Amino acid sequence: VLQWTIGLTAVAAAVDFLRALPENARYVLHLNGLTDLAERFVPFAAEGFGWMIPALVGFGAGLLIGKLKKADR
């Protein structure tokens, strides 16, 4: 569970970090398209909480995979 939660949260947090960079840095690194895309499609990304939904999805996926692996034993 922990690996899935941290993995998906880390990806979302990395995008949130890029979005928090100064505007000039995002322009030089050509990140405006990526950050605009994240703001449009990731819930709460515009408010800085874009990591929340991926964390919940990772937690759910981890629980589901854990139960499936336990059922196979």
Position 42, amino acid:
V
Res 39: pLDDT: 83
pLDDT for residue 19 is more than 90: no
pLDDT tens profile 21-64: 999 999 999 998 888 888 888 888 888 888 899 999 999 999 99
The 3-class secondary structure across 5-69, one letter per residue, is: HHHHHHHHHHHHHHHHCCHHHHHHCCCHHHHHHHHHHCCCCCCCCCCHHHHHHHHHHHHHHHHHH
Res 63: pLDDT: 93
Residues 32 and 26: beta-carbon distance below 8 Å: yes
Q: pTM, whole model, 2 decimals?
A: 0.73
Res 44: pLDDT: 85
Res 10: pLDDT: 93
